[in-house]
A and B are shown apart, each in its own frame.
Chain A
Amino acid sequence: MLLSINHLQVQYGKQTALDIEQNIMIEPGDRIGIIGSNGAGKTTLVKSILGLTNYKGSIQTELKKEEIGVHMQYNHYANTMPVKNIMETLLNTNIKNNNKLQDLIAFFEFEACLNKRYSSLSGGQKQRLTIIMVMMQDAPLTFYDEVTSGLDFETRQKLMEKLIEWYQEKDNALCIISHYYDELELLADKVLILDQGKVIAFGNKEMLFEQYCGHAVITIDNCEKNDVLTKHFNHLLSPGHLIALSCQDLEEEEKIIRVLVEHDVNFKRSNHDIEIMYINAKASYYSIEGERAGLRPGDLKEGKNGGRYEYKAV
């Protein structure tokens, strides 16, 4: 066990930013995707683990703070500083004598950036700079907080490919915070869903998918024709533009696909769709909470952070 969280609570004034009741354990080699909307408590969780914010409860780990690698949401350095100096100072090394660092620089095609000033790097190059330095730390536990946010699609794809390739068959535990579900589908083997400071779900990606979505999910465009066509199948909650159909087993899956093919409907099949899983896990959590609070479907419930959410029966 690398790190264990028990009953963690963080308050910012009167506002509860994080209220984790269950035990969360991070094991060596874990790839944990952390999802949640803005204000869900994702960054607060990282800050608590790093001891950057005061909290109640316990975070048990034998790792020292400097043994945890962190790519924060925003990573700035002195604007006028040459990139080479930033890298050599922060890592306390010389690039020309450090083969591993040279390999990483080459791996990320970063050679041309070394003599530039930090201010003249593009967004993607700035991200790569921190990633190289964080990877160079080779920490037993590393957090990547929204590592690709603000980047264009192509840069994002390339960066993720590099991350996946680098960490393949490595024992480092990674916690990846992202709003891009496709990234988490590629990188994560466990998922932690946070909302309004609460843990909605935590566990193995496949198990959570099975729990909230079934054996597989088939998604089709949301239109009246498709809605009528699939009304006898089990619908899951989904983004507005899609209809998501839950398949509990292979038989049901084949049945749905047959109908869709017969009616010439394009579909997508997935057994790890994190977005659908996230939406349904959240709805399931609040339905249980809602029932506990005596709410009826459609009722609005006051959230912990002042926000309001609709109680939906699932």
Chain B
Amino acid sequence: MEAGMNIKQCNRKLIKYEMLNILGNPFADFFGVVFPIMMLFIITKAMKPEIPASGYAEACTTIFISMSLIIPMALLLLGYAATYSQELEKEIPLRMMLFGYPERATMLAKIIAQAIVTTAALLVYSIAGVIGLELTVPTIGAVIGLILCQYLLGVIFFGLAHGVSNLFHKFGPTYAVMMTVYFGMMMLCGMMGIKAKNLPGFFQVVSRLLPMSHIGEDYIDVWMGRSYNFVPMLQAFLFLGAVSGIVIVMAGYKNRRARG
């Protein structure tokens, strides 16, 4: 029996394969790496004449924090859903399984690859921000907190994208749903130029259910070392995490039923 026949574990080749898989999606590359940097510089340049010089660094930092949220949204929420739903539609996970890669090995490789690519994209974004903008100096705790928020969001988005892909098993409906969710979240969380507090009443309520709106608008207080009540943000994380969990459970239930 050949080497190709045994049960394979998550290995470096598989992780590299999954990384190439992510980077092979040009939309994920653009929206996850180029787009946030582009938006960061366009918005900060556009607002410069309207903001007093003394407050400009803080305003830039707010935009920097807010636009950084596009990275996990684009790479994990949208990019992963697009790639994985296509894989499911073409039964690629089954092909991997027939070549000895159990689902847990491919999933682990996907998670590691997504974490590496997201980290790289956040690093590129941070370097661009630090070099190209006047940012205020944060406390160490604020930086660690923001990184934690990014990864927590990443986990939730990954789960949501995985669940929705598994619900539909097709690229078309998955992409339609995720695009709607992506742009909806961007609008509700002040990433499209309108602040959440300027939205109509109902949308403001929905906006506060999303952790991105708390991070985008309020995290500057943590960054600047001012007092901040974390409870609403944690509740929003719990809410979005629960939505993601419910979608995963629903997808699992549907797939078990489909199998007979």
Contacts and interface: CB of A to CB of B under 8 A. Distances in A.
Interface residues of A, number: 35
Interface in B56-98: 83, 86-87, 90-92, 94-96, 98
Main SS at interface, chain B: helix
A137 interface: yes
B21 A72 contact: no
Nearest to B17: A89
B91 A72 contact: yes
Nearest to B24: A80
A138 B24 CA distance: 31
A310 to B, nearest CB: 32
Interface residues on B, range: 20 to 34
Given A53-B260, A80-B25, A90-B96, A66 B5 contact: yes
Contacts of B11: 92
B92 A77 contact: yes
B241 interface: no
A74 B25 CA distance: 22
Interface in A140-157: 140
B7 interface: yes
Nearest to A77: B92
B226 interface: no
Given A92-B3, A92-B11, A93-B4, A78 B24 contact: yes
A50 B98 contact: yes
A89 B13 contact: yes
A71 to B, nearest CB: 9
Of residues B11, B17, B91, B96, which shows the largest number of chain A Cβ atoms within 10 Å of its Cβ? B17
B5 A81 contact: no
A291 interface: no
B206 to A, nearest CB: 36
B5 A138 contact: yes
Interface string A76-99: 111111100110111111000000
B98 A81 contact: no
A138 B4 CA distance: 8
B32 to A, nearest CB: 15
Contacts, number: 89
Nearest to A139: B5
Given A54-B259, A81-B24, A93-B3, A75 B95 contact: yes
A289 interface: no
B14 A91 contact: no
B259 A133 contact: no
A137 B99 contact: yes
Contacts of B24: 78-81
Interface string B1-33: 111111110010110110011001100000000
Contacts of B14: 89, 92
B245 interface: no
A136 interface: yes
B27 to A, nearest CB: 11
Interface in B77-126: 83, 86-87, 90-92, 94-96, 98-101
Contacts of B3: 91-93
Contact of A138 (B1, B8, B17): B1
Contacts of A138: 1-2, 4-5
Interface string B221-259: 000000000000000000000000000000000000001
B5 to A, nearest CB: 5
Given A89-B14, A133-B4, A137-B2, A12 B92 contact: no
A11 interface: yes
B58 to A, nearest CB: 41
Interface string A49-64: 0101110000000001
A78 B92 contact: yes
Contacts of A109: none
A70 interface: yes
A111 interface: no
A67 interface: yes
Contacts of B6: 66
Interface of A: 11-12, 50, 52-54, 64, 66-67, 70, 72, 74-82, 85-86, 88-93, 100, 133, 136-140
Interface of B: 1-8, 11, 13-14, 16-17, 20-21, 24-25, 83, 86-87, 90-92, 94-96, 98-101, 259-260
* Closest CB pairs A-B (n = 8): A80-B24, A76-B90, A89-B17, A54-B260, A91-B4, A90-B99, A66-B100, A138-B2
Given A50-B98, A89-B16, A92-B14, 17 more contacts: A11-B260, A54-B260, A66-B6, A66-B7, A78-B20, A78-B83, A78-B92, A80-B21, A80-B24, A81-B17, A81-B21, A86-B17, A89-B13, A89-B14, A91-B99, A138-B4, A138-B5
11 contacts: A72-B91, A76-B95, A78-B20, A78-B92, A88-B13, A90-B101, A92-B8, A92-B11, A93-B3, A133-B4, A137-B99
